[in-house]
Amino acid sequence: MLNTATKSEAPGTEQELTDGFHLVIDALKLNGINTIYNVPGIPITDLGRMSQAAGIRVISFRHEQNAGYAAGIAGFLTKKPGVCLTVSAPGFLNGLTALAHATTNCYPMILISGSSEREIVDLQQGDYEEMDQLAIAKPLCKAAYRVLHAQDIGIGLARAIRAAVSGRPGGVYLDLPAKLFGQVMNADAGAKSLVKVIDAAPAQIPSPASVKRALDVLKSAKRPLIILGKGAAYAQADEEIKSFVEKSGVPFLPMSMAKGLLPDTHPQCAGAARSTVLKESDVVMLIGARLNWLLSHGKGKTWGEAPKKFIQVDIEPKEMDSNVEIVAPVVGDIGSAVSAFIQAMGTGWTAPSADWTKAVQSKREDNVAKMAPKLMNNKSPMDYHGALGVLKNVIKERPDAILVNEGANTLDLARGVIDMYKPRKRLDVGTWGVMGIGMGQAIAATLETGHPVLAVEGDSAFGFSGMEVETICRYNLPICVVIFNNDGIYRGTDVNNANSDPATTVFVKGARYDKMMEAFGGVGINATSPDELKRAVNEAMDSGKPTLINAVIDPAAGSESGRIGNLNPQSVLKKK
């Protein structure tokens, strides 16, 4: 039912009226958008209040970037655009990093920002928070729209929703100038101007010829490999993907946010034999994974000497041949493509040779066996492996819990150590390797799914969104944050010999992040050994109380982040 603003007062002509505020709310509700991630302020404070009053869940953050990361990951988890609402200029700019992040990661998200008056902005006459936000947003998102008239709100939102979720999903900017909210119109006309978006992300069926070509190439392989990316996780075609991978018998390598599509403990999983499968495979089928820096662009040392053929399944045709030749491009949505593969494989599919699958399995078992004793140490202060060994078991016992993970060492090591068992349970830094996604993603993850969250955070990474522990306490969310506190970035032992300033990468020694959570009424624990950590995390995950555990890690433990260290000028110099 339409929200009505007021009644007109002219005697004898009384009629229901609506306004910009109510039309935005009605348009969101009509399209099933029931959560807004926001930071209140001029000119959108009342939009937040009225949305809440109208039954939309409005989650208020302490910083727009975190609200934006929440909206982006909500989009990834639900396939509906996550909405972030901000004030003009500075609030808009704070939200923009998250919008660009959503676009890069192909998360459907809409950043809605209030803006100042067009007439003044365009003449640059110095309005409150004056900025041409539409122009600034454009290069950072899939689409950007501005609505000037209340009767266009329905169309504006419909365009934003469709742009965010159709084809390759991404971020969309919607500019709502302050004056729009107060524009009044007849409620009937307002209701008629709303648009319900039908079939916002239509299936894109791949051509039968492309499906056949892909299967012919896969069939011809001696050492095939399937790489699953987060596009495959986004597709929510979990059963189809599992059936296809199992029917093919091909080893699969999950990118980090695709972990759990099939369990990391699945006999075909090659996660723990990564170097081997990348180097030695002869045919690689990418499903919702891009050949970007995370896959060394499909060439070079990582991929070994043997010639390789790539098959790629992606909804975006321009993705094909982006880095190397794709001999079998399959353009379509992942669910449709994988279903088509299953059907075209028929009953006569031959699994790859046992030589190959056994070699992969044996490499994987070796690596897992090498890692196992490290995970069982009970050193105090802890090293990464001792602490992660505990968390691995926490997730094993609670496969529905969502793991949020960011940091440098904390990310690189947790990715390998903590096995995932179900799809879309691992949420991390994504394509950019960005720090700061932690608390925003944790908050949206539990709100959107109803599952508890374990957020495993480097001390530096946590700092970007740390103030949101207040938000976690305010909404009483079942989030357990574990901070791997080694007193600094990479390590806590760097020394500056040039003057009395601390080294650029170190933080206050012995900091007690747990006190931050206590300040807002949550549970704070300082854990100095794996045993203490285990007790504290289990209690937090069972109680569902907002908890922050300061896990004391040896400051000397850790190194520059994985392969990224190679991009660091210092390590390049060291190598020369």
Ligand X SMILES: CC(C)(COP(=O)(O)OP(=O)(O)OC[C@H]1O[C@@H](n2cnc3c(N)ncnc32)[C@H](O)[C@@H]1OP(=O)(O)O)[C@@H](O)C(=O)NCCC(=O)NCCSC=O
Query: Is residue 266 involved in binding ligand X (CB under 6 A)?
Result: no
Separation in Å, CA 85 to CA 77, 144, 275, 289, 536: 19, 15, 43, 30, 35
- Distance in angstroms (rounded) separating the CA atoms of residues 145 and 156: 7
Q: Select from 49-57, 105-113, 156-164, 408-416 the region that touches ligand X (CB under 6 A).
A: 408-416
Among 272, 334, 360, 444, binds ligand X (CB under 6 A): 272
Residue 167 or 562: which CB sits closer to ligand X?
Answer: 562
The single-letter DSSP state of residue 291 is -
Q: At what angle do helices 89-105 and 64-78 cross, to 10 degrees?
A: 30
Q: Select from 44-52, 66-74, 273-281, 334-342 the region that touches ligand X (CB under 6 A).
A: 273-281
Residue 331 or 481: which CB sits closer to ligand X?
Answer: 481
Residue 328 or 408: which CB sits closer to ligand X?
Answer: 408
Among 40, 381, 544, 562, binds ligand X (CB under 6 A): 562
Residue type present at position 557: A
Query: Is residue 289 involved in binding ligand X (CB under 6 A)?
Result: no
Residue 273 or 480: which CB sits closer to ligand X?
Answer: 273
Site track for ligand X across 229-258, x = CB under 6 A = ---------------------------x--
Q: Select from 18-26, 139-147, 529-537, 555-563 the region that touches ligand X (CB under 6 A).
A: 555-563
Query: Is residue 275 involved in binding ligand X (CB under 6 A)?
Result: yes
Residue 275 or 343: which CB sits closer to ligand X?
Answer: 275
For residue 226, what are the β-bridge partners?
A: 252, 285
- Distance in angstroms (rounded) separating the CA atoms of residues 521 and 364: 44
Residue 257 or 443: which CB sits closer to ligand X?
Answer: 257
CB of 166 to ligand X, least distance (A): 28
Among 400, 563, 566, 572, binds ligand X (CB under 6 A): 563
Query: Is residue 294 involved in binding ligand X (CB under 6 A)?
Result: yes
Residues in region 56-85 near ligand X by CB under 6 A: none
Residue bearing tokens 């808009």:
92
Query: Is residue 433 involved in binding ligand X (CB under 6 A)?
Result: yes
Among 408, 437, 483, 506, binds ligand X (CB under 6 A): 408
Query: Is residue 262 involved in binding ligand X (CB under 6 A)?
Result: no
Check if the beta carbon of residue 146 is closer than 8 Å to that of residue 131: no
- Distance in angstroms (rounded) separating the CA atoms of residues 389 and 45: 45
Query: Is residue 381 involved in binding ligand X (CB under 6 A)?
Result: no
Query: What are the φ and ψ backbone dihedral angles of 315, each rounded to 5 degrees?
Result: -80, -15
- Distance in angstroms (rounded) separating the CA atoms of residues 71 and 63: 13
Check if the beta carbon of residue 562 is closer than 8 Å to that of residue 294: no
- Distance in angstroms (rounded) separating the CA atoms of residues 553 and 232: 35
Query: Is residue 389 involved in binding ligand X (CB under 6 A)?
Result: no
CB of 273 to ligand X, least distance (A): 5
CB of 325 to ligand X, least distance (A): 22
Query: Is residue 297 involved in binding ligand X (CB under 6 A)?
Result: no
Query: Is residue 566 involved in binding ligand X (CB under 6 A)?
Result: no
Got the DSSP string for 452-466? -EEEEEEHHHHHTTG
| Cβ-based neighbours of 499, under 8 Å, separated by 6 or more | none
Residue 176 or 233: which CB sits closer to ligand X?
Answer: 233
Residue number, nearest CB to ligand X: 433
Residue 273 or 540: which CB sits closer to ligand X?
Answer: 273
Residue 65 or 166: which CB sits closer to ligand X?
Answer: 65
Residues in region 163-192 near ligand X by CB under 6 A: none
CB of 272 to ligand X, least distance (A): 4
What SS3 state is found at 423? coil
Q: At what angle do helices 208-219 and 334-345 cross, to 10 degrees?
A: 60
CB of 217 to ligand X, least distance (A): 24
Among the listed residues 29, 41, 37, 46, the one whose alpha carbon sits nearest the alpha carbon of residue 83: 37
Query: Is residue 273 involved in binding ligand X (CB under 6 A)?
Result: yes
Among the listed residues 401, 485, 398, 402, the one whose alpha carbon sits nearest the alpha carbon of residue 438: 402
Q: Select from 74-82, 411-419, 526-534, 551-559 the region that touches ligand X (CB under 6 A).
A: 411-419
Among 274, 297, 379, 512, binds ligand X (CB under 6 A): 274
Query: Is residue 420 involved in binding ligand X (CB under 6 A)?
Result: no
Query: Is residue 411 involved in binding ligand X (CB under 6 A)?
Result: yes
- Distance in angstroms (rounded) separating the CA atoms of residues 291 and 300: 12
Query: Is residue 374 involved in binding ligand X (CB under 6 A)?
Result: no
CB of 262 to ligand X, least distance (A): 14
Q: Select from 348-356, 367-375, 441-449, 476-484 the region that touches ligand X (CB under 6 A).
A: 367-375
Task: Give yes or no for a cis peptide into 555 (omega within 30° of 0).
Answer: no
DSSP H or E stretch at residue 93: helix 89-105
CB of 411 to ligand X, least distance (A): 5
Query: Is residue 371 involved in binding ligand X (CB under 6 A)?
Result: yes
- Distance in angstroms (rounded) separating the CA atoms of residues 99 and 72: 7
Q: Give the 3-state secondary structure of 507-554.
A: CCCCCCCHHHHHHCCCEEEEECCHHHHHHHHHHHHHHCCCEEEEEEEC
- Distance in angstroms (rounded) separating the CA atoms of residues 573 and 560: 14
Query: Is residue 367 involved in binding ligand X (CB under 6 A)?
Result: yes
CB-CB neighbours of 392 under 10 Å: 17
Q: Select from 16-24, 136-144, 265-273, 496-504 the region that touches ligand X (CB under 6 A).
A: 265-273
Would you state the torsion angle of the CA atoms of residues 377, 413, 456, 445, taken in this order, to the nearest 10 degrees? Answer: -140
Site for ligand X (CB under 6 A): how many residues?
A: 22
- Distance in angstroms (rounded) separating the CA atoms of residues 20 and 23: 5
Q: Select from 10-18, 209-217, 271-279, 443-451 the region that touches ligand X (CB under 6 A).
A: 271-279
**Where do contacts with ligand X occur on this chain (CB under 6 A)?**
256, 271-276, 294, 367-368, 371, 408, 411-412, 415-416, 429, 433, 561-564
